[in-house]
Structure 1
Amino acid sequence: MSLEFMGLVTIIVGCVILAAPVTWAFPVMVLSTVFGAAAAISLPALGGPSVLVPSLFLVFFATRLFMAAGEGPLLASLQPFRPGFWLLLLTGFGLLSAIYFPKLFDGVTETMTVERVTSTRSFISLSPLRFSSNNITQSVYAVGGLVCFAAVFAYFRHAGKAGHLISAILLLAAVDIGFAVADVITYFSGTEYLLGFVRTANYALLTAAEKGGLKRISGTFPEASAFSEYTLVLFAVMASLWLDRVRSRETGILTALLLLALLLSTSATALIGVAVVVPFLWTRALLGAMKGSAKARPVFLAACVAFIPAAILTAFVLFPGLVDQLHQFVEEMLLSKAESQSGRERFMWNAVAFQTFLDTHGFGAGLGSARASSYILVLLSNVGVIGFVLFATFVSAVLAARPLRNGGALDIGNATVRAAKTGLIASLTAACVSGTVYDLGLMFYILAGSAAALASERAPVGSPLSASGNLHSFPVAPVRRR
């Protein structure tokens, strides 16, 4: 085991958090998720996988919550028929499948899996099903997701409030944009080494790629696709808050910057994600306007219906050459994607994953045993029909949770729940387009835990959502609506 620089920083910050007010732990937990390519610890004994910064800090975050609230709020998130209960069943089934299924279906099928040549080199190949270090690492990530969900749920039931999530996401979005700008600047100035401290994970780092004459933005992630998946979630959350007029100035500016970063990332995942999220938000705003809601953004609705198409048409008339350039750019990003080597490889991954699902009679090859290029096939090939149904039930339970409807200050809580759910939809959209492994990242579970805790039929006595709840100090700006 070797400790990286970012790992040392994480341990120091984590130790400080253990002695600080519990409300300090949450924003740091949220902020840590931006370091998607920063290894905290390397594990050569397991073939060289990396423990990322968010996973290491999760240990300190969960420990601080346990110190502050005990096991009660943590276990409350896993009570039968709550969203966390279905996630607990899914994780338990996943762990059992990782242990037993590779042996049970030994010699029955082949899977696409990561083969580690050395501690610094790995490749994906078609191999006979067998137990490997991937089953261990994905199982650890699955447990981490469950712990993260429970800890975030406990945080909001013990000391948190909706404004904490809003302020943390605002800070996170600004940091994500800052690193995106730094990525472009260091690339063209030949100073990429300056970002080396956040690019230490044992992944294939594709941080110096171009497409259509544009730098493929990767920020703090190993490649543009991972950056776009993460940034798409932040864009969805920010846009939802802006539509609900929560801190309109900050959320509006960050929404525009995140959208620009997504478009400039030259990622097909980003384009498809935006094409799903924007119509979803437009439909939500339209339904609000039809109900006479004062929160509806008529300018946003009008811009989507009339101004944006008119502006695009005017640009094409004034600059005829722009049509050919745009067509060439889109064709390179989307239309010719399937004919590229990467496209053919990912199509093969999906074909093999579906065959694995069939060969194992719908049970899957075990958590971590197979890779695909769509999260649906990842679930089916790893944990089969049972795992797929449990995951769908968990997501449905989170999305179906109804916000409190008591009016007043709780309107901010309702807006936060809507924003978290929109972020979950964006995350699932990106995963269905290009997800390769079971782990969806801790940001997914942070949003899910937040939505599940804030969207409750009844605010528990003494909680921040009740009138008599006591809150610890937290250095954030007050949430305001315009």
Structure 2
Amino acid sequence: MLTFVGLIQIAIGMVLLLRGSLASMLVFAMISGMFGGSASVIVGGSSIPPVQFALAFIWIRMIIPGSRFGPAVGPAFRENIWLLVFVIYGVAIAYVGPRLFIGDMEVSPLRVSGPTSSLYSTVLLEPSSQNVTAAIYLIGTLMSAVATYVACRYRGGANALVRGAVIVAYVHAFTGILGAVGRGTPVDAVFEVFRNATYSQLEQEANGFARINGLFPEPSAWASFAFSWFVLLAECWYRSIEPKSTGRAAALLLLVLLASTSSSAYVAVGGYAAFFAVRVFIFPQLASHQRIREASLIGLAAVMLLAVALIALPAFAAAIQDIANDALFEKADSESGRQRLFWALQGLEAFQVSFGLGIGPGSFRSSSLITAILGSCGVIGIVSYIAYLITLFQPRRASSWGVSGSLAARLGGAAGTAAILGQIPALVAAPTPVPSGEFAIVAGAALAFRKLRTKNPAESDEEEDEGPDLVPPPFRGGWRRV
């Protein structure tokens, strides 16, 4: 069934097909990703999210007769070869796994029909509709990465990625704040209309504070999406790629992430802070001294403001301490923490039961990307996924660690870092082995920009089909229609 969200997307998609560019369609997909609790199409008990529905219009634009993008599709698949292996095996084992190992273990299903009597309720392993859904999502991830690769290889792609990320940051932060402040008011009813997917809506309050979930079904999902774009924007700022706009957008997302009360957000931000500090210490020659000074001033100001707030408002300080204890230090001993551990350990059991083959994506609920991949896709899945991450980051390149190389190299390094570090929330919360849509976008962009060998367009007046289109500063005006 096509929903009202899908109808709106069809209208926008048709306008972009007639009047827009591939770059503008990339922004369309990025913005669609913010509607994480929405469904464009509902088939049975499964939902097709807006980000994957928008993907269809990008592919129509790429392969429509007369399009100049067709020749780039083949190289895009070759560059994403490890993701292609991961997806092909995942789709195959999603069908074979639950049939081959039917009844060999009890699993917590992804979708529970009816009430459960325990946090650890399980059923015998068997094929289900969730295997089909997970396989479709896997294919969507691959298609998103390939489409982004193609879009970023042509003029307009770099502007679309960075400008789109800034737009997403502001709108995502604003809707998150508005949803929390408007909880229990007519504003909340509007948000509920957009959360029309068949996802479970979790409790959105912690110690009297309204938790931030925006247009997503739960705070951890909202925070995971926000963190991926925060890292990309922070890395662009660090590499002096439109530092004013990317820096402000990253700072806004960081503030809202810290206010989200999501344990996934706190772990992720802590992980990025540790990476940032270690990188500056190991590779000081690749660090911008101006950015380090700015980061130090921001950190000092944040600490001082927090100290003043804690001293002036004792009740607020006690509430913040309770939230921090619940979200971080007491999480493991809570019912939720024990349930997440139980789900995560299922992946290890599935890996053993299947002799390293996996029991198929969609066969069980996990709470960690690593154990989800191990249990669902086995050895082939985890090896191909790690190989893909290494391909994205390319640790032997100086541009992966800081300010080095051409503009395309720096942007590729920023996207590659965002693809890797953006996985931190998934490591402690992902229910399935399916990578997120935002991961696919930054991954495809990282490979595209790293592949570019053209000179900086600021040095030439030639109109090339391929090449980075960001000229710092400022942005070259508008999106070029190609």
TM-score (norm 2): 0.87
State yes or no: 1:339 paired with 2:313: no
Shift of 1:444: 0.5
Shift of 1:457: 6.5
User: What residue is the counterpart of 1:61 in the other structure?
Assistant: 58
User: What residue is the counterpart of 1:183 in the other structure?
Assistant: 179
Q: Mapping of 1:354-433 within 5 angstroms? A: 354-400=348-394, 402=397, 411-433=406-428
Cα distance in structure 2, aligned partners of 1:89 and 1:422: 22
Query: Given that residues 219 and 227 in structure 1 are in contact (C-alpha distance below 8 angstroms), is that contact kept between their aligned partners in structure 2?
Result: yes
Cα distance in structure 2, aligned partners of 1:173 and 1:316: 28
Deviation digits for residues 207-243 of structure 1 (CA, Å, limit 9, x no counterpart): x621122211001110001001111112111222222
Q: Secondary structure at the match of 2:200?
A: coil
Deviation digits for residues 63-83 of structure 1 (CA, Å, limit 9, x no counterpart): 21223334321110222xx3x
1:108 and 1:458, CA in 2 relative to 1: closer, same or farther beyond 3 A?
same
User: What residue is the counterpart of 2:479 in the other structure?
Assistant: none
Query: Given that residues 464 and 471 in structure 1 are in contact (C-alpha distance below 8 angstroms), is that contact kept between their aligned partners in structure 2?
Result: no
Query: Given that residues 161 and 465 in structure 1 are in contact (C-alpha distance below 8 angstroms), is that contact kept between their aligned partners in structure 2?
Result: no
Cα distance in structure 1, aligned partners of 2:15 and 2:374: 42
1:93 and 1:106, CA in 2 relative to 1: closer, same or farther beyond 3 A?
same
Match of 1:249 among 244, 249, 252: 244
Cα distance in structure 2, aligned partners of 1:410 and 1:278: 24
User: What residue is the counterpart of 1:283 in the other structure?
Assistant: 278
Shift of 1:167: 0.7
Match of 2:86 among 69, 85, 90: 90
Cα distance in structure 1, aligned partners of 2:254 and 2:225: 12
Shift of 1:247: 2.4
User: What residue is the counterpart of 1:164 in the other structure?
Assistant: 160
- Gapped regions of structure 2 (runs ≥ 5): 476-482
User: What residue is the counterpart of 1:219 in the other structure?
Assistant: 214
Shift of 1:339: 2.5
Query: Given that residues 223 and 264 in structure 2 are in contact (C-alpha distance below 8 angstroms), is that contact kept between their aligned partners in structure 1?
Result: yes
Query: Given that residues 183 and 219 in structure 1 are in contact (C-alpha distance below 8 angstroms), is that contact kept between their aligned partners in structure 2?
Result: yes
Return the letter of the residue paired with 2:362.
G
Return the letter of the residue paired with 2:70.
E
Cα distance in structure 1, aligned partners of 2:33 and 2:287: 38
Cα distance in structure 2, aligned partners of 1:50 and 1:177: 24
Return the letter of the residue paired with 1:76.
P
User: What residue is the counterpart of 1:330 in the other structure?
Assistant: 324
Return the letter of the residue paired with 2:340.
R
Shift of 1:379: 0.3
Cα distance in structure 2, aligned partners of 1:463 and 1:111: 55
Shift of 1:109: 2.0
State yes or no: 1:30 paired with 2:26: no
User: What residue is the counterpart of 2:134 in the other structure?
Assistant: 138
Return the letter of the residue paired with 2:363.
S
1:53 and 1:464, CA in 2 relative to 1: closer, same or farther beyond 3 A?
farther
Cα distance in structure 2, aligned partners of 1:78 and 1:464: 30
Q: Secondary structure at the match of 1:338?
A: coil
User: What residue is the counterpart of 1:199 in the other structure?
Assistant: 195
State yes or no: 1:449 paired with 2:444: yes
State yes or no: 1:104 paired with 2:100: yes
Query: Given that residues 392 and 419 in structure 2 are in contact (C-alpha distance below 8 angstroms), is that contact kept between their aligned partners in structure 1?
Result: no
Query: Given that residues 224 and 267 in structure 1 are in contact (C-alpha distance below 8 angstroms), is that contact kept between their aligned partners in structure 2?
Result: yes
Return the letter of the residue paired with 2:108.
M
Deviation digits for residues 441-482 of structure 1 (CA, Å, limit 9, x no counterpart): 2110000000000012734x999999744369xxx9975279
Return the letter of the residue paired with 1:64.
R
Query: Given that residues 82 and 384 in structure 2 are in contact (C-alpha distance below 8 angstroms), is that contact kept between their aligned partners in structure 1?
Result: yes
Match of 1:480 among 454, 462, 473: 473
Q: Is the deviation greater in 416-425 or in 253-262?
A: 416-425
Shift of 1:395: 0.9
Return the letter of the residue paired with 1:233.
S
User: What residue is the counterpart of 2:480 in the other structure?
Assistant: none
1:290 and 1:322, CA in 2 relative to 1: closer, same or farther beyond 3 A?
farther
Cα distance in structure 1, aligned partners of 2:147 and 2:446: 13
Shift of 1:381: 0.6
Cα distance in structure 1, aligned partners of 2:314 and 2:18: 62
1:203 and 1:464, CA in 2 relative to 1: closer, same or farther beyond 3 A?
farther
Shift of 1:298: 2.3
Shift of 1:371: 1.7
User: What residue is the counterpart of 1:5 in the other structure?
Assistant: 4
Return the letter of the residue paired with 2:473.
R
User: What residue is the counterpart of 1:209 in the other structure?
Assistant: 204
- How many aligned residue pairs are there? 464
1:353 and 1:310, CA in 2 relative to 1: closer, same or farther beyond 3 A?
same
Shift of 1:86: 0.9
C-alpha RMSD over aligned residues: 3.3
Deviation digits for residues 29-72 of structure 1 (CA, Å, limit 9, x no counterpart): 1111111011111112xxx1111111111111112122333432
Cα distance in structure 1, aligned partners of 2:227 and 2:459: 29
Return the letter of the residue paired with 2:91.
L
Q: Secondary structure at the match of 1:69?
A: coil
TM-score (norm 1): 0.87
Return the letter of the residue paired with 1:168.
G
Return the letter of the residue paired with 1:49.
S
Q: Is the deviation greater in 209-218 or in 371-380?
A: 209-218
Deviation digits for residues 241-273 of structure 1 (CA, Å, limit 9, x no counterpart): 222233233223222211111111100000000
Query: Given that residues 357 and 379 in structure 2 are in contact (C-alpha distance below 8 angstroms), is that contact kept between their aligned partners in structure 1?
Result: yes
1:90 and 1:466, CA in 2 relative to 1: closer, same or farther beyond 3 A?
farther
Return the letter of the residue paired with 1:19.
L
Percent of paired sites with the same residue? 26
Shift of 1:328: 2.5
